[in-house]
Amino acid sequence: MNFSFEETQIQQKRVVVLVIPAAFEIPTAFKEKRYIRIGSSKCNIKDYPKREIELFKILDGRTETIETIPAKYQELTFQKLFGYYGSKGIVLSDKTFIKNLGLRNEEGQFNLLAQLLSDDSHFPLRVSIFEGKTKGTNLFSVREFGNNCLLYSLDELLRYGDVLNIIQADETDRVVERKEVPLFDNKAFREAIINAVLHNKWTEGNEPMISVFSDRIEILSRGSLPPAQTMEGFYLGESVPVNCGSNVALKSGNINDIYRVIAINNEKALCMKEDEQAEWNIADLMLNVIPMQLNWLRVMILKSVTMELRNY
């Protein structure tokens, strides 16, 4: 292992730093042992053979990511990306933004991340509203938020959540002021949407799906948990992003808590954990569906609500 020691001065104090270069071909080992971070502890990677296999795949280039796959469309423009960053008070440089944001692969082609952040991502992003509790019921409306810079699509989708989140008046035990009850937890909705979009497995060519039913909202994100994630880390809420390129959203100031593995709350994960047989099978799922229950205070006809949404 080609490590080195660097020495510097900080506040007139001598600081010695051990520099360990990043692994490029095989995982870095110390005394013939390779370690993996799990929670706040380090463990021998041999105890996690699946993680070891995936790590070798990544290092030898067999695992494709949004940063290595070339964009299907190479004639890309980024005016909306500049506008979005500007609205957050961040100035991009024409000369360096492609390199700084990692928008080209090693062959010099625009990658899939660049396509997602371009003026037209060529990916749809829809919200479908159904009359009943299943997709077999009448489809009232479909709103399209995709085929745009992904960051703008995400913002518009979050704003549409405010339209869906009807505020209801609760007259129960009213004394002076009535209690206002939202249809669903807006913070949980925002977190679930952001995680679904940024951690979606875009490399498979599929986008997230949002379906609104009479009793719930389902947010579907493609793919499975990342190879580096562990059972312990999942239940602890450890941050292991599927798409490294989603750092771009953090840099643009989209949200502070993007990297939570469990989008709604940890209570659901703890409930999953009670079922020992299915405890970790969720890592092998190809679809991650997050259901959010709707808090109707009384029986309402969804059609009347949908008419309001159509006018939005």
- Please report the pLDDT score of residue 94 as a whole number: 92
pLDDT (mean) for 281-301: 51
Q: How many residues does the chain have?
A: 312
Dihedral (CA of 104, 106, 108, 112) sign: negative
Bridge partners of 212?
Answer: 129, 217
The pLDDT value given to residue 74: 95
**Percent of residues, the chain, with pLDDT higher than 70:** 67
C-beta of residue 7 within 8 angstroms of C-beta of residue 14: yes
Report the alpha-carbon distance of residue 116 to residue 92 in Å, rounded. 17
Please give the pLDDT value at position 300: 41
List, in sequence order, every beta strand (DSSP E) within the chain. Answer: 4-10, 13-19, 35-38, 41-44, 126-130, 139-144, 167-170, 179-182, 209-212, 216-222, 287-293
299 pLDDT higher than 50: no
Q: Is 17 helix (H, G, I), strand (E, B) or coil?
A: strand
Asked whether the predicted pLDDT for residue 50 surpasses 80, the reply is no
* Of 101-115, 197-211, 238-252, 274-288, the least confident: 274-288
Over residues 192-220, the mean pLDDT reads: 88
What SS3 state is found at 130? strand
Dist. CA 255–CA 249, nearest whole Å:
8
Which strands sit side by side in the sheet containing 139-144, from one edge to the other? 139-144, 126-130, 209-212, 216-222, 287-293
- Residue range 47-56: mean pLDDT, rounded: 76
Residue 303 has phi, psi (to 5 degrees) of -60, -40
> What is the pLDDT confidence band of residue 284, given thresholds at 50, 70 and 90?
very low
pLDDT tens track for 78-94: 999 999 999 988 888 99
Contact 33, 44 (CB under 8 A): yes
Joined tokens for residue 308: 């309001």
Q: Is the pLDDT of residue 128 over 90?
A: yes
* pLDDT value at residue 103: 93
Encode 226-264 in three state secondary structure: CCCCCHHHHHHCCCCCCCHHHHHHHHCCCCCCCCCCCCC
**pTM of the predicted structure, to 2 decimals:** 0.65
Q: How far is CA 94 from CA 70, 78, 82, in A?
A: 21, 10, 9
251 has a pLDDT exceeding 60: no
Higher pLDDT, 76 or 251: 76
Q: Is the pLDDT of residue 206 over 50?
A: yes
Residues 241-249 have a mean pLDDT of 59
Query: pLDDT tens, 145-181?
Result: 999 999 999 999 999 999 888 888 777 776 677 778 8
pLDDT at 228: 62
* Single-letter code of the amino acid located at 294: L
pLDDT for the residue numbered 302? 43
Banded pLDDT at 35 (limits 50, 70, 90): confident
Helices (H) and strands (E) counted in the chain, each on its own, are: 10, 11
The DSSP output letter for 65 is -
Give the model's confidence band at 236: pLDDT under 50 very low, under 70 low, under 90 confident, else very high: low
Query: Which residue carries 């080992």 as its tokens?
Result: 29
Report, as an integer, the average pLDDT of 27-35: 79
pLDDT class of 278 with cuts at 50, 70, 90: very low
The rounded distance, in Å, linking the Cα atoms of 101 and 53 is: 28
